[in-house]
Amino acid sequence: MTGRRRQRPEPGAIKALAVDIDGTLADDSRRVDLEAVAALREVQDSGIPVMLASGNVLPIAYALSNYFGLTGPIVAENGGIVSYQQKIWVLGDPAGPRKAYDFLRTKMDAQRLFTDRWRETEVGLTREVSLEKVRDVLKDWPVDVQTTGWAVHIMEKGMNKFRGIQKGCELLGISPKNVAAIGDSDNDEMMIRECGYGIAVGNAFEDTKRAASFVAKGSDGKGVIEGLAWLGILAR
């Protein structure tokens, strides 16, 4: 099944890979698919850097990238922070999201994530918080409100993972047109749409699937492996 594009990349067209974590490499219980991680290592060993692109905070994304054995830039906080070779670039401005959250608290109960003690550029709310209500309360504020299925994120207007990937591409000396992105949810849609090739796993949101070059049948890690095979960068 395909979305916006049908043509598979030519051999050598993919210069880097960007992969989401929750709902993509990890399932609903947040168990990481180790076969998918092994596949990412295989891709990286072939000479294609692998970037983790997550809505999670940098300490978690950094740790996972290191223990997965990946060496590409790390995109955290939905593009708000990029890390590469132990250097950090802060792209997002937290002032707007924090002011919006202070206002939100006057209108409803909105509990922040435990990991927000490390969050620098946005505000993350627990997934029990109503996405629709948050969007309604903050509709006149200059922020974007998105969900990952795991959390509700209040971000600077226009902030998204693709902006972080653009910085990662700058650091790698490549074009986003030569990047393949894999994800599942609202906050993955822009990178899947704007990178050269976008893969949606089988459990992806419908809008994310419509933005993709290819939609896998398999969910989570199985979908990742299926997408890598479609891209032609996985030998198995």
Q: For residue 6, is it within any domain?
A: no
Please give the positions annotated as active site.
Answer: 20
pLDDT digit string, tens, across residues 120-175: 999 999 999 999 999 999 999 999 999 888 899 999 999 999 999 999 999 999 99
Q: Residue 205's Cα: distance from chain center in Å?
A: 13
Tell me whether residue 51 is in a domain. Answer: yes
pTM of the model: 0.93
CATH of the domain at 50: 3.40.50.1000
Give the chain's domain count. Answer: 2
Domain shared by 72 and 179, yes or no: yes
Mark whether 118 and 77 lie in a shared domain.
no
Please report whether residue 24 resides in a domain. yes
Q: Among 156, 172, 193, which residue terminates a domain? A: 156
pLDDT, one tens digit per residue, over 186-228 is 899 999 999 999 999 999 999 999 999 999 999 999 999 999 9
Question: Range of 73's domain?
Answer: 16-90+160-231
The CA radius of gyration of the chain, in Å to the nearest whole number, is 17
Q: Is 125 a member of any domain?
A: yes
